[in-house]
Amino acid sequence: MTSPSTRLLNSNATESTTQAKSGGCGCDSTTSTTVERDEKLQERIAKHPCYSEDAHHHYARMHVAVAPACNIQCNYCNRKYDCANESRPGVVSELLTPEQAAHKALVIGGKIPQMTVVGIAGPGDPLANPEKTFRTFELIAEQAPDIKLCLSTNGLMLPDYIDRIKQLNIDHVTITINMVDPEIGAKIYPWVHYRRKRYKGLEGAKILHERQMEGLQALKDADILCKVNSVMIPGINDQHLVEVNRVIREKGAFLHNIMPLISAPEHGTHFGLTGQRGPTPKELKEVQDNCSGNMKMMRHCRQCRADAVGLLGEDRSQEFSKEKFLEMTPEYDMEQRATVHEGIEKFKEELKVAKDKALAGKKIANSPKVLVAVATKGGGLVNQHFGHAKEFQIYEVGGDEVRFVSHRKIDQYCQGGYGEEASFEHIMKAIADCKAVLVSKIGNCPQEKLQEAGIKTVEAYDVIEKVALEFYEQYVKELGN
């Protein structure tokens, strides 16, 4: 798998570093056990783009929309169909049968061999549609055993299906937990439908909370990795999320994903129609930082559609509409897929060497941290034209560190001569707190506008960390002058 990215890194990879392996080093058995456990955990998430920030640069996922029914009502949710231009949870263009979903997975697994995960996330709740959900997983597991299976649920029925989930080797489960205090939950969930009865307000929130905690504990006992999603709703649960984080960490969650509320009026949700705002990027980052202590935070979530296809940050679902993929014959070749994955892993090793080289010896004392916006098509590289970007990845850069902190969606600047002014205003709002934009290319007009706003532009085609640090060194130097 030779690509411009690989060729770019070959010169760096020749200067590989050798790390000494410990053997008879005097480490106690507890440390050895911890290291072994961590290595096994890394193996489990290495090719899952949602559970691994590193993997999301290289591996793709797909969601299959087989679960239309839901058993709770969320004030931020409105399940919608045939909404090709909306990108948010609960939205799909087409519902599938389990057989159609399995066929689609095989088609896409052949067309996009770096696709490693098939998830069911709706548009309702997978465990409110257990027969369709588990039949889909059975069919995929039989025909594509190298694909990871994943489901996302509100947790209400999770305790009832732990054994079935374990039996099907579904190794990754996401629960959306927005509260551990039912008083707060009552402001988020109007009703819960449980055991053939509808419970409203506080009573429903109590049931949901108890079942979520029971399910979370059951996942831990079954050794199934759990990611918890939390929707940050300013004025309702934003301050409460630190407590949510503490509780889920104690109960064994592996990863916490705090997402911003999406509440535009045109989406038709209760919060959207009543004017409940979502958090600003600064507010979101502050809460994520406050919760990042002893638990890994997911900061690369794209709040995907329930029929999303491709790398995180891209959506190729329209390439595989029902009328298209049903006419395609699957060309699912596990050997060819394995070869592609080997190439990706080799490139990742080369990329790591290049990152380590860029960071080696870097230390600028008492230097302020700044944010930079990166235009990237993936691969851990600055490799996208400013005008083609539909999102920026945001990195925090300090004297000896470059750290991914978030992504921000934007309106694409290049509109064929129409709408550039409006899209640029939207871009400026998204990156106003950044000191630089790192791009492969940028036109004179947007470059001048960014410069007027005090944002530098850096043109490069290289490893993100390397480009960011080179900018930062020059930035600190100019600060001192």
Q: How many residues can be counted in the chain? A: 481
Residue 130 lies in a domain: yes
More confident position, 180 or 421: 180
In this predicted structure, the answer to whether residue 284 has a pLDDT above a threshold of 50 is yes
> pTM of the predicted model, to two decimals?
0.78
Query: Sign (positive/negative) of CA torsion 111, 117, 118, 119?
Result: negative
The values of phi and psi at residue 308, to 5°, are: -65, 150
CB atoms within 10 A of CB 112: 21
At 264 the pLDDT is: 77
- Judgement on whether residues 279 and 150 belong to the same structural domain of the protein: yes
Residue entry with tokens 């831990």: 220
At 363 the pLDDT is: 66
Residue 96 lies in a domain: yes
The tokens describing 139, both together, are 């069919």
- Judgement on whether residues 282 and 431 belong to the same structural domain of the protein: no
- Judgement on whether residues 365 and 299 belong to the same structural domain of the protein: no
At 207 the pLDDT is: 97
At 203 the pLDDT is: 96
**175: containing domain:** 39-327
Give the model confidence (pLDDT) of 261-283 as tens digits. Answer: 988 787 778 888 888 998 988 89
Describe the crossing of helices 444-452 and 420-431 by its angle, rounded to 10 degrees: 40
- Judgement on whether residues 267 and 402 belong to the same structural domain of the protein: no
Domain count along the chain = 2
- Nearest Cα to Cα of residue 423 among 434, 410, 436, 439: 410
The values of phi and psi at residue 298, to 5°, are: -90, 120
- Judgement on whether residues 296 and 407 belong to the same structural domain of the protein: no
The whole-number average pLDDT for the span 227-240 is 94
- Are residues 457 and 451 in contact, defined by beta-carbon separation less than 8 angstroms? yes
At 419 the pLDDT is: 55
Q: What is residue 451's three-state secondary structure?
A: helix
In this predicted structure, the answer to whether residue 83 has a pLDDT above a threshold of 90 is no
Residue 19 lies in a domain: no
- Judgement on whether residues 320 and 449 belong to the same structural domain of the protein: no
**Confidence band, pLDDT 50/70/90 cuts, at residue 21:** very low
Among 310, 327, 344, the domain-final residue is 327
Give CA angle at 407 (318, 281), nearest 5°: 125
- Judgement on whether residues 320 and 381 belong to the same structural domain of the protein: no
Residue 442 lies in a domain: yes
- The residues that bridge with 118 in the sheet, in sequence order, are 62, 149
What is d(CA 375, CA 388) in angstroms, rounded to the nearest whole number? 9
Residue 181 lies in a domain: yes
Among 285, 303, 327, the domain-final residue is 327
Give the model confidence (pLDDT) of 434-471 as tens digits. Answer: 999 999 999 898 899 999 999 999 999 998 988 998 89
- Are residues 184 and 236 in contact, defined by beta-carbon separation less than 8 angstroms? yes
The whole-number average pLDDT for the span 305-313 is 78
In this predicted structure, the answer to whether residue 102 has a pLDDT above a threshold of 70 is yes
At 402 the pLDDT is: 87
In this predicted structure, the answer to whether residue 63 has a pLDDT above a threshold of 50 is yes
- Judgement on whether residues 322 and 389 belong to the same structural domain of the protein: no
- Judgement on whether residues 263 and 399 belong to the same structural domain of the protein: no
Top-ranked range on mean pLDDT: pick from 78-87, 129-138, 387-396, 466-475: 129-138
Among 301, 327, 353, the domain-final residue is 327
Residue 214 lies in a domain: yes
In this predicted structure, the answer to whether residue 155 has a pLDDT above a threshold of 90 is yes
The whole-number average pLDDT for the span 288-307 is 79
- Where residue 241 sits, what CATH number does that domain have? 3.20.20.70
- Judgement on whether residues 368 and 435 belong to the same structural domain of the protein: yes
Q: Is 11 exposed, middle or buried (0-12, 13-18, 19+ CB in 10 A)?
A: exposed
- Judgement on whether residues 426 and 303 belong to the same structural domain of the protein: no
The values of phi and psi at residue 114, to 5°, are: -85, 5
Residue 160 lies in a domain: yes
- Judgement on whether residues 169 and 246 belong to the same structural domain of the protein: yes
Residue 20 lies in a domain: no
Top-ranked range on mean pLDDT: pick from 148-157, 268-277, 365-374, 391-400: 148-157
Residue type, 65: A
- Where residue 468 sits, what CATH number does that domain have? 3.30.420.130
Which of 128-132, 133-137, 265-269 is least confident? 265-269
CB neighbour list of residue 326: distance below 8 Å, 6 or more residues apart: 100, 103
> Which residues in 160-185 are b (16+ Cβ under 10 Å) and which e?
ebbeebbebebbbbbbbbbbbebebb
